[in-house]
Chains A and B, each alone.
Chain A
Amino acid sequence: MKNKIIVFWLIVIIVAVCAFVGYKKPTKLGLDLVGGSRIMLEAKTTDTIQKITPEVMSRLQVAIENRVNKLGVSETTVTTVGDKRLLVEIPNVTDLKEAEAFLGKTALLEFKPPVLDKNGVQKRDEMGQPLWEPAEITGEDLNSAQIGTDQTGQWTVSLEFNGKGATKFAELTQKLVGKPMAIFFDGEEISAPNIREPIFGGRAEISGGASGFKYEEAEKMVNLLNAGALPVPSDIIEENTVGPTLGADSIEKSKFAGLLGVGLVMVFMILMYRLPGVIADISLVIYALILFALFKIIPVTLTLAGIAGFILSVGMAVDANVLIFERTKEELRAGRNLFTAISSGFDRAFTSIFDSNMTTILTCVILYFLGTSVVKGFALTLALGVMVSMFTAITVTRNFMHLVFGTGDLKYPVLFGLSKDEIGKGFDVQETKREKARFGILD
């Protein structure tokens, strides 16, 4: 009995920790619940880049990240999936049109030479704004941009063009020594440095003029340049955008359905199994606490499918208890004393619980590795649920059962939903000598 009490206090500690974690940490909700866009991009090869290497992918990722950040939405994420795909997630999109507009847009980086008159002076429009020729060099020609410093320690922006870009850049700069060249990002002029000398070899440096760049200025420019410098083009191959209305509605409905489902299961357990049913219900609450704490610690992003997995796992979590209680009832009917009936009920039910849960976990593992991200969420919550339920339904319930019922004979069979004359009339339970020793049966 002593270690039963130790186990009891351990359970209390675990529950307290989980309740604390559950209370403190926020739940991560998926885009289908808060509203937002999930976009899958696939990199395409070009004539110059014929193989998508991890290096190309990481550059593409940086470029896409920069583009997405321009939206000004917090918590956007860009992750590489597989060899040549990027998953872009933009939460809390309040306007679906905004996300759509972003999708349709390919950020354009252009290097435009000036429009020159006969004297070689740049023409201006009526407002006095300088005029630029259509671009000859675009983001496709740029490899990357970095922040650097010049000899005097001023911040600079250095550009690196690819082979084709380098040739075009050399030609252009030869013609334009002493004249400006503008850099446009999505049609907006971000800089118009003067060309001091022809640049061969594809490496150029932009300095911030006499006053120099501030670090932030240089950084912003590098980001924009990299954003425009998509190393390879990419296609949208999958998109799912959920408006905030649908998301809010889904959360409300899932909450209600979840609470109702759990409530029905709890009532059912009490009706079927009486006092043990109450104990199973307490375990179920502990189960939900632990599982939610785990969701928050790992962290698992809860999606609609994930919630379905969780609710399904509640139905399955009591499965172990149903198995055990049915078995315990059988043992009681066969006339065993309480302690033995409970112990052997647990021990005998264990193999079925273990084997049946293993097959569920097996399918979850397959789903996790082969499924799409929606499916992954479902598989993860269900698998976690099944594993946690093995602990709560077996260790926790068993401990409580022993503590509540203690040893001795069953004085009130009605607590188990049995009637007095059922006792001793069950089928003949037979044990091997070893099992008898384990269950403490004395003949």
Chain B
Amino acid sequence: MFKLFKDGLHVVKYRTLWLCLSALLLTPGIVAMIYSMINYPTHSPVKVGIDYTGGTIMQYGVQDDVKSSQVGKIRSELEADGVTGTYIQVLNVNPTTENNNIKSIISVRTKFIDEGSKDAETITNVVSKEYKNAELIQVSSVGPTLSSELFKKSFIALFIAILGIIIYVTIRFELKYAVTAIGGLLHDVLFVMGIFSILGLFYNVEVDGLFLTAMLTVIGYSVNDTIVTFDRIRENLRYYGKKMTFSEIVDQSVNQTITRSINTSLTTFLTLAALYFFGGVTTKDFVLAMMLGVIIGTYSSIFFCTMLVDLWEEKKQKKIEQQAA
């Protein structure tokens, strides 16, 4: 069913093709990230939300169909009432009886509203004046101390995760596999972050604490996929190590595991897609990040990581030959 080529897939032979494809996939995202780092006041590669900058978001559900162009009015009214620097977004949702027939969610983001500040009431008043039946459905607030701490913790978590995987794969396999698995992992993380960087630039998609969770899950998933392929290479090496070249074994292993790789990714993707299209609004971006991660993780474990392992082995063989000569 998934035989892409009649006599199997040639990972090693078309190495340049896969390298170019990866470059093609990654470049737009990397450009967007560099652009963002230069232009955003936070100097972050992606647009970051209140989890990392601190701030307050108040969300109101309204039964009218609000257009994005209408939020300017709310903003100017807020300015008049002394609440400056707000950022307002409108999300359209399907009205149901469960959500009181809410058609749009207006979310107002401001700097962190401290205890005792009247800003929260001002915002509620302005929104309620503009839209009858506006219902405050969610308030999220992150103070400046916590946000910088979250930022630091995120980096530590990412670092420890990568380190842990290197150690685990080195113990179970070899350093060669560990390093290439990490190569694939960085490939996947860069891709997903790149896409979110682009989304941030064009659609104002912001990254929150859940995004980090999605990234770490993508890392786990990506390595998971890669390990299955490597496990097959390891097994085949034991049986055919003397009869076939390393490249042939890599190709054979990829072909033996490709159906599995695609099928498991499909099952995971199906569940995520159900969540994305029918699940709650709050976790949408989180699920999107994981969907992208699953797709790119499958690609990288089939094409990218295996190619890297082969490249590594080839370099090693050349060195041995040179030393012999």
Contacts and interface: CB of A to CB of B under 8 A. Distances in A.
Interface of A: 32, 40, 42, 96-97, 100, 103-104, 106, 235-243, 245-246, 248-250, 252-254, 256-258, 260-262, 264-265, 268-269, 272, 304-305, 308, 311-312, 314-316, 318-319, 322-323, 326, 330, 348, 351-352, 355-360, 362-364, 366-367, 370-372, 374-375, 378-379, 382, 427, 430
B282 interface: yes
Contacts, number: 230
Contacts of B168: 358-359, 362
Chain B residues touching A, majority SS: helix
For the complex of A and B, the 4 pairs showing the least CB-CB separation, nearest first, are A315-B268, A261-B271, A261-B274, A237-B143
A250 B282 contact: yes
A97 B58 CA distance: 12
B99 A360 contact: no
Given A268-B267, A316-B268, A261 B213 contact: no
A197 B199 CA distance: 73
A312 B268 CA distance: 6
Chain A residues touching B, majority SS: helix
B279 interface: yes
B139 interface: yes
Contacts of A240: 138-141
B21 interface: no
Nearest to B260: A326
B135 interface: yes
Contacts of A268: 263, 266-267, 270
A238 B137 contact: no
A370 B271 contact: no
B270 A257 contact: no
A343 B282 CA distance: 44
B153 interface: yes
Contacts of A430: 239-240
A260 B275 CA distance: 9
Contact of B99 (A248, A363, A367): A248
Contact of A261 (B232, B275, B282, B286): B275
A302 to B, nearest CB: 13
B260 A246 contact: no
Given A236-B143, A245-B99, A254-B275, 11 more contacts: A104-B116, A242-B137, A260-B278, A268-B267, A304-B283, A355-B172, A360-B221, A366-B160, A372-B150, A374-B210, A375-B213
Nearest to B278: A257
24 contacts: A42-B145, A96-B139, A100-B139, A236-B114, A237-B142, A239-B139, A239-B140, A245-B137, A246-B61, A257-B275, A304-B282, A304-B283, A305-B283, A311-B272, A312-B217, A316-B268, A326-B257, A326-B263, A355-B227, A357-B224, A359-B169, A362-B161, A362-B164, A366-B216
A417 to B, nearest CB: 9
Given A96-B139, A323-B228, A318 B267 contact: yes
A304 B256 CA distance: 37
Interface string B262-294: 011011111111110111101100110010000
A374 B269 CA distance: 23
A236 B114 CA distance: 8
Nearest to A356: B224
Which of A42, A253, A351 has most B Cβ within 10 Å?
A253
A240 B256 CA distance: 48
Contact of B98 (A248, A314, A352): A248
B248 interface: no
Interface in B118-171: 120, 135-143, 145-146, 150, 153, 156-157, 160-161, 164-165, 168-169
Contacts of A248: 98-99
Given A238-B141, A240-B141, A261-B271, A250 B280 contact: yes
A214 B150 CA distance: 49
Given A103-B115, A308-B279, A375-B210, A96 B271 contact: no
Interface string B226-244: 0110011001000110000
A237 B146 CA distance: 6
Contacts of B142: 237-238
B209 A366 contact: no
A311 B290 CA distance: 12
B263 A322 contact: yes
Nearest to B262: A322
Nearest to B154: A370
Contacts of A330: 256
A371 B274 contact: no
A371 to B, nearest CB: 7
Contacts of A250: 280, 282
B85 to A, nearest CB: 19
Given A322-B263, A363-B161, A370-B160, A312 B270 contact: no
A253 B141 CA distance: 25
